Amino acid sequence: MAAGADIVAAGGQLDADLVMDAYRHGIFPWYDAGDPVLWWSPDPRAILPLDAVHVPRRLQRTLRSGRFEIRWDTAFEEVIRACDEDRPDGSWIHGDMRRCYVELHRLGHAHSCEVFLDDVLVGGIYGVAFGGAFAAESMFHRARDASKVALIHLVERLRAQGFVLFDVQFMTPHLETFGCVEIPRAEYLRRVAEAQALEVRW
């Protein structure tokens, strides 16, 4: 996990209403099973600018091939479970987290982009929409490029619907290849506040 200075609170219950309020204030939960709930607001914060996404040439060919079928919100629980599996370094997506985000999905706040190959789920990404912002939580793949395809289709949907902020929380080398950048926490909070004023439909 990241530096302790990024943790802004500890404790409380992983309740859907509380989690949504946290997102609207630039905060999200992230903690190991059995530990107190830890609430994070990283500084700097990683975002993917929706108007400056880089799509590698080979991935462009994959997207054009039509090899994969894209579905939305048809297999949310399967996506979140898949994101939890096959991680040699462990996962924070334990039972309490899954139950909370499934409830957020039921309430219309959490969404998934699902990638199918021959009617089998092989990749996906899930996250939370709030105002004109979307916070990506995790993604997975069981076929080459499937998670990347999910990411690009999610970006296209967010742009089409009028979203203005795509939060990816922490920078990774993988995300950096798509054009992710880091901004100061204060700037992120300003953008979150602006996004809240927008009435954007998923």
CATH code of residue 118: 3.40.630.70
Residue where the block lists tokens 């954007």: 200
Instruction: Report yes or no: 49 and 88 within 8 Å, Cβ to Cβ.
Output: no
> Is 104 domain-assigned?
yes
pLDDT digit string (tens) for the chain, length 202 residues: 445 689 999 999 899 999 999 999 999 999 999 999 999 999 999 999 999 999 989 999 999 999 999 999 999 999 999 999 866 565 789 999 999 999 999 999 999 999 999 999 999 999 999 999 999 999 999 999 999 999 999 999 999 999 999 999 999 998 999 999 999 999 999 999 999 889 999 9
Q: Rounded to whole angstroms, how far apart are CA atoms 45 and 189?
A: 10
Residue where the block lists tokens 């079928």: 69
pLDDT digits (tens, 9 = 90+) for 126-159: 999 999 999 999 999 999 999 999 999 999 999 9
The pLDDT of residue 92 is 86
- Residue 180: Cβ within 10 Å count: 21
Query: Which amino acid makes up residue 201?
Result: R
> Is 14 domain-assigned?
no
Q: Rounded to whole angstroms, how far apart are CA atoms 151 and 46?
A: 15
Q: Rounded to whole angstroms, how far apart are CA atoms 167 and 134?
A: 6
Domain hosting 148: range is 43-196
Strands 133-141 and 165-169 turn out to be parallel
> Is 23 domain-assigned?
no
Q: Rounded to whole angstroms, how far apart are CA atoms 4 and 8?
A: 9
Number of domains in the chain: 1
> Is 15 domain-assigned?
no
Instruction: Report yes or no: 150 and 123 within 8 Å, Cβ to Cβ.
Output: yes
> Is 25 domain-assigned?
no
Q: Which strands, in side-by-side order, build the sheet including 110-117?
A: 69-72, 110-117, 120-130, 133-141, 165-169, 45-47, 181-183
